[in-house]
């Protein structure tokens, strides 16, 4: 293997200015990848870019504005990326949030559902054509071992009885169901899609989830570098090149919750996602 096994590979990572996304970006840029990071704060994004250049000497890093709580911002990001890049080999839908109180996105949608599920749903759709043209390519969705429960279709945004924990679990179950169905839809295209559970990691994820949860993440969470190991493995390892529709934890395929294998549930959820985007003019 060369010292730059990702040289020539074009990678998009959301939420890469801190935590797992930043740790992934740091490793991939050292391996020679061409990387585009999303950021809501260009100053912060440029600081991370400078840090990546310093540790790797790889100048092929760009930072583009993207607020994942806004469909318009996601569209603008994808338009800007596609105008600059003829190829896309890896899309890492890493960004995620966990609110303690119910908050609303720019599009008037409960924010956990908007950012953790609808944002990757839209971004993947907008970039998928370029990924098919660049095949073999990989989509990596960063999920959670906390996924579970069910999809509360009658009140998917928790407009009554909001629980940040239940909303987060539902969003990660939704992401896994989406991953499995998308894998079936992409059969024969050369594009794989997998979901990874990094485990409890000491990141900014729990900053809005309440003092008890913040304390748990600080005390029990592994470092972002350790948390990035499984996502990095699924992103770049030759060993998973033909694997798709799987759930990875500790660099191995694992069983996920019973609900996450229900393809009728996945198809219903897909229609719900399409409905949200249609109402927003996509």
Q: Are 148 and 169 in contact (CB under 8 A)?
A: yes
Q: Are 198 and 228 in contact (CB under 8 A)?
A: yes
The string of pLDDT tens digits covering residues 221-277 is 546 577 788 889 999 999 999 999 999 999 899 999 999 999 999 999 999 999 999
Per the DSSP assignment, residues forming a β-bridge with 13 are 37, 92
Active site residue 168: yes
Domain boundaries, the chain: 10-279
What token pair was written down for 197? 């559970």
- From the list 77, 72, 71, the residue with the least C-alpha distance to 45 is 77
| Confidence class for position 147, pLDDT limits 50, 70, 90 | confident
pLDDT, average across residues 147-169: 92
Percent of the chain residues past pLDDT 70, beyond the cut = 89
pLDDT of 217 higher than 60? no
C-alpha to C-alpha distance for 214 and 227, rounded to whole angstroms: 17
Active-site annotation holder among 168, 178, 247, 276: 168
pLDDT at 148: 77
Class for the domain spanning 10-279: alpha beta
C-alpha to C-alpha distance for 247 and 180, rounded to whole angstroms: 9
pLDDT of 205 higher than 60? no
């Amino acid at each position: 293997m060369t010292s730059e096994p990702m040289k020539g590979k074009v990678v998009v990572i959301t939420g890469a200015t801190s935590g797992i996304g930043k740790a992934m970006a740091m490793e991939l840029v050292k391996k020679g990848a061409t990387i585009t990071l999303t950021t809501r704060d260009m100053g912060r994004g440029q600081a991370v870019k400078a840090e990546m250049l310093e540790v790797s000497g790889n100048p092929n890093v760009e930072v583009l504005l993207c607020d994942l709580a806004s469909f318009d911002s996601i569209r603008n990001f994808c338009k800007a990326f596609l105008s600059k890049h003829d190829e896309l080999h890896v899309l890492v839908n890493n960004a995620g949030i966990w609110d303690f109180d119910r908050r609303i996105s720019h599009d008037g949608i409960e924010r956990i559902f908007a950012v953790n599920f609808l944002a990757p749903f839209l971004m993947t759709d907008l970039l998928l054509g370029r990924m098919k043209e660049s095949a073999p390519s990989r989509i990596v969705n960063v999920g959670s071992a906390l996924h579970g429960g069910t999809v509360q279709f009658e009140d998917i945004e928790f407009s009554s009885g909001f629980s940040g924990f239940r909303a987060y679990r539902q969003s990660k179950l939704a992401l896994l169901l989406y991953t499995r169905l998308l894998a079936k839809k992409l059969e024969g295209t050369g594009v794989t899609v997998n979901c990874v559970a990094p485990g409890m990691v000491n990141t900014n994820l729990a900053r809005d989830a309440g003092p008890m949860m913040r304390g748990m993440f600080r005390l029990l969470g592994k470092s972002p570098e350790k948390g990035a190991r499984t996502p990095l493995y699924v992103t770049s390892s030759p060993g998973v090149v033909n694997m798709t529709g799987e759930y990875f934890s500790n660099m191995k395929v694992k069983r996920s919750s019973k609900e996450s294998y229900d393809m009728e549930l996945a198809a219903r959820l897909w229609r719900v996602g399409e409905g949200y985007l249609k109402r927003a003019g996509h």
